[in-house]
Amino acid sequence: MKYQKIPEATIRRLSRYSRCLEEMEESGEEVVSSAQLASRCMVNAAQVRKDLAYFGEFGIRGVGYHVKNLLNDIKRILGSNKEWRMAVIGVGNLGSALLSYKDFLKQNYKIVASFDIDPPKVIGRVSEKLGKPVEIFHVNRLKEIAKERKIEIGLITTPPSEAQSVADLLVEAGVRGILNFAPTQIVVPEGFVVKDVFFTTILDNLAYLLSNN
């Protein structure tokens, strides 16, 4: 295998494979072929093999892939085998929903702090939801707490008007990854990564497909 640039789409699919493999592992399946995994993930079997080929050889010809091993390998590739420490900034409706979002716990994504301009307002509701409540700090302590708690990813769930200034704070605090739920484009320096989650963009997509089919 020679080195090549890895397509963004490949990474997205790896995450999908990872999820499917987890389900398979839970239901006790030990070996899986590229064709089985592909049909489960709604992709082409050659695609599965090619995606994996970017990173090495993981299968046994004539047999397939060991579910457990492949899952580990994919998680190692994605970097989702380690625990990622996250903070939520903006503890409104969406923010507090994320604080108690169960799928984060199953995967290795852990929210270790949260921030708001008006911290006390929601403490009660959040702590009642979880076994171990996530503390809510005032935003002006973001830099301090982010360093202290080694936060690596920030989830921005503020109103759009505040998103860029929160992003600036995160950058200043050295938080290199941002998941932006605020429906506005934010800009960060080289070396930092922003991924947007814009519900209305996805709805626009759906609306287009529904209008034209």
Site string for a copy of itself, 83-102 (x = CB under 8 A): -x-------xxx-xxx-xxx
* CA 168 vs CA 39, 115, 137, 164: distances in Å: 43, 14, 17, 6
Name which position in 3, 5, 161, 190 contacts DNA (CB under 7 A). Answer: 5
Contact flag: residue 109 with a copy of itself (CB under 8 A) = yes
Closest distance to DNA from the beta carbon of 53 (Å): 4
Closest distance to DNA from the beta carbon of 27 (Å): 18
CA of residue 34 relative to chain centroid, distance: 25
Residues, the chain, total? 213
- Long-range (24+ apart) CB contacts under 8 A made by 25-34 are 25/67, 25/68, 25/71, 29/67, 30/66, 30/67, 30/68, 31/63, 31/64, 31/65, 31/66, 31/67, 32/64, 32/65, 32/67, 32/70, 33/64, 33/65, 34/59, 34/64, 34/65
Contact flag: residue 16 with a copy of itself (CB under 8 A) = yes
Contact flag: residue 37 with a copy of itself (CB under 8 A) = no
Contact flag: residue 165 with a copy of itself (CB under 8 A) = no
Phi, psi of 153 (to 5 degrees): -135, 135
Nearest-angstrom CA–CA distance, 149 and 146 = 5
Name which position in 107, 127, 133, 149 contacts a copy of itself (CB under 8 A). Answer: 107
Query: Which residue's CB is nearer to a copy of itself, number 56 or number 191?
Result: 191
Closest distance to a copy of itself from the beta carbon of 155 (Å): 9
Site for DNA in 16-55 (CB under 7 A): 33-35, 43-47, 49-50, 52-53
Contact range with a copy of itself by CB under 8 A, out of 36-44, 60-68, 139-147, 163-171:
36-44
Name which position in 4, 27, 161, 212 contacts a copy of itself (CB under 8 A). Answer: 212
Closest distance to DNA from the beta carbon of 55 (Å): 10
Element (H, E) at 56: none
Residue 51 half-sphere exposure toward CB, CA atoms < 13 A: 25
Site for a copy of itself in 47-76 (CB under 8 A): none
